[in-house]
Amino acid sequence: MSDRDAPVDERKEDEDWRKTRLRGKAIKEVGIFWPYILIPIHIITLKPLFFYLKTVITEFFLLQFKVKWGWKKISVVQVSDVIDTEIPFLPEKSDIYLDFINFWIRSLNFTVLRLGRKKALPHLASFMAAIGTAYHEAARVYKITMSTTPRPVAGNHKNMKTIHRLDPHLLCVPSLHVGVVVLTHTFFTHVFRKEGLSQEEQEQYSKELWDGAVEITETVLYVKQHSVNCIPAALYMMTHLLKDQFTIQDATNFIDCLFVDSSHIPAQQGQTIRNHIHYMYDRLLLEGCNEEDWIVPVLRWLMTQPVTSL
């Protein structure tokens, strides 16, 4: 018997049990178990999973390694800004940077625990389709023009050595780190509202995901994996991919939260960073308002940047 066929009182009892079980817990506390078990075995999640994995392997990893090894020719431009030099290199924040994948997997896991497996599965499928689309759309830019930034040497830091070894660092604009954390917050905030979670729960979980997305976005600059120029392009991409769910006002609010409470960036410098990201985001909006394809203003800007050699 499905959840839908169960008596109303029984369904409410099950709902109350799940809510009570998770009361007071943060999404970060629930782990990552269920998505790895459920997504590969259910027909509605298997297809979007395959699309996501195929896109990540062929249009993200293999694409840039082919260029790095000289098997494919795509121009690579330098997209750094003088502002980047004033942001400290903090390799100790690499744990936050590397938590990027678990950030969205934990959200999937929480959805299973909070809603129940059968009710959660369509949301898992929709999210896998959405994240696959984000990678595919970003790759439309990468296949025409790749981009990079200067990276300090990894030194003896284990995480940074791993990052430098596995990431050729040729796909900076738009930043998929930023795009995916924005997608995660937006998608699950919408799910929690749609599924009728209490206002208290919605506010708690939405804030947690928002704060996590802001923290990871700041970290891509601290570990020198991106430039301030990579962030607005990602926000612009998500404005188009998520349409009414992630609005221009949402992107503006997100930018306004960056480096506000940082102990590593002076207040004036934080404002300079935010002003620059606002300017670049507004520029993409204005240049793209008469374009049918969101990648046009991004590519137009990339083509003004200096070509670099590998």
> How confident is the model over 228-279, as pLDDT tens digits?
999 999 999 999 999 889 999 999 999 999 999 899 999 999 999 999 999 9
- Average pLDDT score over residue span 120-143: 98
Read off φ and ψ for residue 69, nearest 5 degrees. Answer: -85, 0
> How confident is the model over 34-74, as pLDDT tens digits?
999 999 999 999 999 999 999 999 999 999 999 999 999 99
CB-based contact 227:174 (threshold 8 Å):
no
Strand partners for 148: 78
Asked whether residue 104 carries a pLDDT value surpassing 90, the answer given is yes
Q: Could you give the CA distance from residue 210 to residue 134 in angstroms, rounded to a whole number?
A: 18
Considering the chain, what percentage of its residues have pLDDT values greater than 90? 90
Q: What is the gyration radius of the CA atoms in the chain, in angstroms? A: 20
> How confident is the model over 273-297, as pLDDT tens digits?
999 999 999 999 999 999 999 999 9
> How confident is the model over 60-71, as pLDDT tens digits?
999 999 999 999
Q: Could you give the CA distance from residue 222 to residue 103 in angstroms, rounded to a whole number?
A: 18
CB-based contact 145:75 (threshold 8 Å):
yes
